[in-house]
A and B are shown apart, each in its own frame.
Chain A
Amino acid sequence: MEISVTVNGVKHTAEVEGRTLLVHFVREQLGMTGTNIGCDTSSCGACSVHLDGEAVKSCTILAVQADGTEITTIEGMAGADGTLHPMQQAFMENHGLQCGYCTPGMVMAATSLLKENPNPTEEDVRLGLEGNLCRCTGYHNIVQSVLAAAKA
């Protein structure tokens, strides 16, 4: 099946199998490996991307379902001049990452969270990131990062 998606502002037309998941399409066919895979039960959120502006778990969507959409992955977050996105900057300044494996998904989920709720409480952030697991940070600094980004 042929699909046409815009990923990080670049339009891609590609042939995909019906069973190909969006995350595999992005990682394997487009070679953009920033989006990670952490589970096989849509539980971890490591694969979160923005689809038409909203955070989705890209392991829960078939590539064919993304036909005609605009997708942003972690590779599309920093400016072309290398400036980090404010959320990435906040994660850096608040030590919101250790091994970094959950981080792309966290950053995508967190930016989407702030879009919906620009002034969240700590509780809001914790609940809002419920679908994204991190094994390293204990979440403390991730929450601090998101709260800091909200203020930035």
Chain B
Amino acid sequence: MTTIETTHTTNGVIGQRLLRKEDPALLTGEARYTNDLQIPGALHLAVLRSPYAHAKILRVDLSRALEMPGVRAAYSGADLADLWAAPMPCAWPVTDDMKNPVHYPLATSTACYVGDGVACVLAETDAIARDALEAIEVDYEPLRAVVGLEDALSDEVVIHPDLGTNKSYTWNLLVEETEGAVEAAFASATYTVAERYVQQRLLPMAMETRAVAAVPQPFGGDITLYSSTQVPHILKVMTAITLGIPEHQVRVVAPAVGGGFGSKLNVYAEELLCVALSRKIGLPVRWNEERSENSMATIHGRGQIQNIELAADAEGKLTAVRVRLLADMGAYLQLVTPGIPILGAFLYAGVYHIPKAYDFSCTAAFTNLTPTDAYRGAGRPEATYAIERAMDALAREVGVDPLEIRRRNFIPTEAYPYEAFSGLTYDSGDHDLAATKAAEMIDYDGLRARQAEVNVPGSTKRLGIGVSTYFEMCGLAPSRVLASLNYGAGGWEAATVRVLPTNKVQVVTGTSPHGQGHETSWSMIVADKLGVDPADVHVLHSDTAISPLGLDTYGSRSLPVGGVAVAMACDKVIDKAKQIAAHQLEAAVEDLTFEDGSFSVQGSPDRALPLAAIAFAAFTAHNLPDGLEPNLEAQVSYDPPNFSWPFGTHMCAVEVDLETGKVDLITYVAVDDCGVQINPLIVDGQVHGGVVQGIAQALYEEAVYDVDGNLTTSTLAEYLVPAASDVPSIITGHTVTPSPTNQLGVKGVGEAGTIGAAPAVINAVVDALKEFGVTDVPMPASPLTVWNTLNNARANHSSGGTS
């Protein structure tokens, strides 16, 4: 692996807790989300959704809807069939023989999940459009719904008959030093564990639901698509392809976006409908998602059944890992649906050293439920959950403390850069340091001592302590590695840095922030590199007319790819400015140094020119070196040499009430190492939010379906997104192990919290109940679930004891 020296902190901007530039607009109501845009003459789209999880569409009668005042048009799926040049895109065909059902924005013959669009209305107001949906008559022939994964794989009912099966694919990763290594390791292991875990379906629940507005220019031919999306650039390409519109006439804008967490990393039916219908009728068309619609029409996360087996030697050191995964795709494959479990495929050995004895296989199946896709962490929280829960199981087998079993297996610091069993190179890490720091912060030994004191017969509460250690694996790259995984796009990012004549700086980034504070962080990178005030830097993004090149924001990629691209563009600007400075100072380029925003001749510091003077000179172009182009700007497309590997340790303590089953999270410590931190204020915020989403999976959230495939948790009254009163303060700590693969030494941080949290919490709950023989508590560990688990364990325990 090539290593790159870290070259920042010329003026100390990097590392400051700078307040965010984004905030004043957001705090005052000035920011405009998609649904805030005022678009004269826009018609409102409403989508009629199937009330059946699986049904033939026999007849769609729009006549009554069309008669209603204010309704301008109404269409069935069949009516729109000729608008689509290609089906909805799936960009990640993980295997060559993957089955991918044809999927159009509205279903034509069969509705495949509750929420599948079957018809739509255009009307003068949103209220009229939604009222008109009730006047549409659809005759359905209900079919049996396939709700469970095992049911799906039985193929008793095949959801997409043309595919012949509900199985989408099986993807294998078998790595063995010599053939049969995994078998042999299990055969000769001193300890083995075999665990089964369920990753319940989750609803991403960004606070802003999706919204779309398409504004056509009927005579000019151009079209602007406003969407609450994380991926304006990907959406532009996919809109052009699926609708057969010349790409150069499509502009996509993501206005202020109210959170995404992966759910807005997609190409959705409503985006394509708005564009297609606005072109068809020559008027702007907009759509705004209601919350209960969002629960069904926006992708879900997780939805996996995990079987994990570990083999270990007499000291409890891992000798092999075997994983069998069943993944729920839902009814169709959305943009990266099939790839989500594969993103976790490399992480089932966690942060531990294992020999080349790894056997992973994932089988993915269709069900009559909302499609799954990326949700914060996307495959990596699932993998981390499995290995971290299984490590606790191993600790129980070996009879050592959970922290000790981890220490025995950590990849040693001196092994970095570390070539893993999979062939991937992990850039840098110090797992023991992060674990030691977390243990100190939470007073691990003190907690264990207290646990021994308080967990006694007679007490109605039990204290439990949970540990998890993790890798985040983010900034997927380089592009050729993504090609080897069959991913349909690259892993690069683009940036332009432009020094304006008056020495103010414009940055154009291909990332598309929606809460992450890129405007602030990118300004800090530029300020650091160019020696300007961060306030003098303006960051432009999320509009493909302004930022034509980019791959957007997801997978914690923005800083390690997009932020590094900004730094590299600054380097190019400095190189060009240096040539102008050398020319004007009549010195050799090699003799110039650039520091604190000024070029000076080595050895004669009085011969100097500030960047401001060069910027103006580049603009007037009166006196430039021969052949040098005017203006001071540079563009970079950066394809990183490797993934980045943030890591950390989370620890928490819970108190479980034995009488009610209620889990009280008493304290939570997160030690994250994301390399060099540009803005620790923002890093902490990312960790807080991430951890709470992980806690939410562990304790509160689940998309619950009944046997007919109806989602019974479709509102925020039923789906328990935690409130402030449901979660504790998060104590954050950091270690800093710079990444050697980029000049800033940075790694990603957006998903770390979510990845670390769920296993830490459930390990703590299981730890609290271990004396009763509890070895697993399903997520979410609601009072009822905990209570049932405890009572079953007690019953087994006592019957086991007397037999």
Among the 9-residue stretches B15-23, B71-79, B138-146, the one with 4 or more Cβ atoms under 8 Å from chain A is B15-23
Bitwise, B16-41 to A at CB < 8 A (1) or not (0) is 00011011111111111101101000
Which among B29, B36, B716 is the interface contact of A39 at CB below 8 angstroms? Answer: B716
Please tell me which stretch of B313-321, B466-474, B526-534, B720-728 contacts chain A, meaning at least 4 of its Cβ atoms lie within 8 angstroms of it. Answer: B720-728
Give residues 68-108 of A contacting B (CB, 8 Å).
73-75, 77-78, 84, 88, 91-93, 95, 97-104, 107
Asked whether any CB of chain B lies closer than 8 Å to the CB of A7, the reply is: no
> What residues on B are CB-neighbors of A41 within 8 Å?
291-292, 715-717
Query: Mask for B679-699, Cβ within 8 A of A = 1, else 0?
Result: 001101100111111000000
Evaluate contact between A130 and B725: CB separation under 8 angstroms. yes
Contacts A36-B208, A39-B715 known; A103 to B729 CB distance under 8 Å?
no
Q: Which residues of B contact A97 (CB under 8 A)?
A: 23, 26-27
Contact B33 A36 (CB under 8 A): yes
Interface stretch, picked from B150-158, B251-259, B267-275, is B251-259
- CB within 8 Å of A: which of B207-262? 207-209, 256-259, 261
Q: Is B368 an interface residue (CB 8 A)?
A: no
What does the 1/0 interface line of A21-39 toward B look like (CB < 8 Å)?
A: 0000001000111111111
Contact of A36 (CB < 8 Å), options: B258, B516, B517, B688 = B258
Which residues of A in the span 100-152 have a Cβ within 8 Å of any Cβ on B? 100-104, 107, 122, 125-127, 129-143
List 15 A-B pairs, Cβ < 8 Å.
Answer: A32-B29, A33-B29, A36-B258, A38-B716, A44-B291, A78-B28, A88-B28, A95-B19, A95-B682, A98-B685, A130-B725, A133-B716, A139-B727, A141-B685, A143-B729
Once the chains bind, are B259 and A135 in contact (CB under 8 Å)? yes
Query: Nearest CB to that of B718 among chain A residues?
Result: A41
The size of the chain A interface, using a CB distance under 8 A, is: 55
- Is residue B206 contacting chain A, with contact meaning CB distance below 8 A? yes
Whether the Cβ atoms of B29 and A130 lie closer than 8 Å is: no
Q: How far is the CA of A106 from the CA of B208 in the complex (A)?
A: 14
Chain B, Cβ-Cβ closest to A137: B689
In the complex, per-residue mask of B512-528: 1 if CB is within 8 Å of any chain A CB, else 0: 00111100000000000
Interface string of B706-737 (1 = CB under 8 A from A): 00000000011100010111010110000000
Question: Could you tell me the distance in whole angstroms from the C-beta of B188 to the nearest C-beta in chain A?
Answer: 45
**B207–A101 CB distance below 8 A:** yes
Of A34, A101, A126, which one neighbours B208 at CB under 8 angstroms?
A101
Q: Is the CB of A38 within 8 A of B208?
A: yes
B290 in the interface (beta carbon within 8 A) = yes
CA distance A93 to B681 in the complex (A): 10
Q: What residue in chain A is nearest B37 (Cβ atoms)?
A: A33
Interface: A46 (CB within 8 A): yes
Alpha-carbon gap, A38 to B258, bound state (A): 10
Q: For the complex, give the distance between the alpha carbons of A39 and B257 in Å.
A: 16
Interface centre among A44, A88, A136 (most CB of B within 10 A): A136
Q: Which residues of B contact A125 (CB under 8 A)?
A: 724
B205 close to chain A: CB less than 8 A: yes
Residue from the list B206, B517, B724 in contact with A130, Cβ < 8 A: B724
Q: B285-318, CB under 8 A of A: which get 1 and which 0?
A: 0000011100000000000000000000000000
Q: Are A99 and B207 in contact (CB under 8 A)?
A: yes
Give complex CA distance A104, B257 in Å: 14
Task: Say yes or no: B258 contacts A100, CB within 8 Å.
Answer: yes
Q: Across the two chains, which residue of chain A brings its CB closest to B208? A: A101
B715 touching A40 by the CB < 8 A rule? yes
User: Would A91 and B27 count as touching, CB distance under 8 A?
Assistant: yes
Asked, given contacts A44-B716, A92-B19, whether A130 binds B723 with beta carbons under 8 Å apart, the answer is yes
A61 CA / B566 CA spacing, docked (Å): 48
Closest chain B residue to A100, Cβ basis: B26
- Of residues 19 to 69 in B, which have CB atoms within 8 Å of A's CB atoms? 19-20, 22-33, 35-36, 38
CB contacts (< 8 Å) of A60 on chain B: these are none
Contacts of B30 in A (CB 8 A): 34
Are B688 and A140 touching (Cβ within 8 A)? yes
**Bound-state Cα–Cα, A21 to B227, Å:** 25
Chain A residues in 8 Å Cβ range of B715: 39-41, 43
B23, B261, B691: which contacts A135 (Cβ < 8 A)?
A: B261
Q: How close is B749's CB to chain A, nearest CB, in angstroms?
A: 13
Our pick among A38, A73, A100, A141 for the contact of B515 (Cβ within 8 Å) is: A100
In the complex, A19 Cα to B258 Cα: how many Å?
27
How many Å lie between the Cα of A33 and that of B31 in the bound state?
9
**Distance in angstroms between the alpha carbons of A16 and B31 in the assembled complex:** 26
Q: In the complex, what distance in Å separates the CA atom of A19 from the CA atom of B259? A: 30
Q: Rank and list the top 6 A-B pairs by shortest CB-CB distance, nearest first.
A: A34-B29, A100-B26, A101-B258, A99-B515, A138-B692, A33-B36
